Amino acid sequence: MFTIEHDFDATVITLVDEGGTHLQEDITVQAFEDCITVEQFDPRADRVVKITLSPSQLRDLAAALNLPEGVYRLPPAGRGERT
């Protein structure tokens, strides 16, 4: 399950783990104009862990989820190019 909210300066997506056993904490993705943050509470460390991605890193990650093993560089048009 996930939710999408549009705030003044960001789009916020929350991913809720509804699997069987070994459930993970919710993940919050915030998309700003210049970066994307991914946050998840780490119960072992008792703190929220945050990762910040540039828009091009997010684009590469999205493309990588649908490509086979290899090394790629995406051209500006967004089509995968194997190197």
pLDDT tens-place string over residues 22-66: 899 999 999 999 999 999 999 999 999 999 999 999 999 988 888
Q: Of 56, 15, 61, nearest to 34 (Cα)?
A: 56
Say how many C-beta atoms besides its own lie within 10 A of residue 39's C-beta: 16
Res. 79: pLDDT tops 70: no
pLDDT of residue 76: 76
Rounded to two decimals, the pTM is 0.79
Sequence spans of domains, the chain: 2-54
Query: Could you tell me the two tokens for 53?
Result: 């991605």
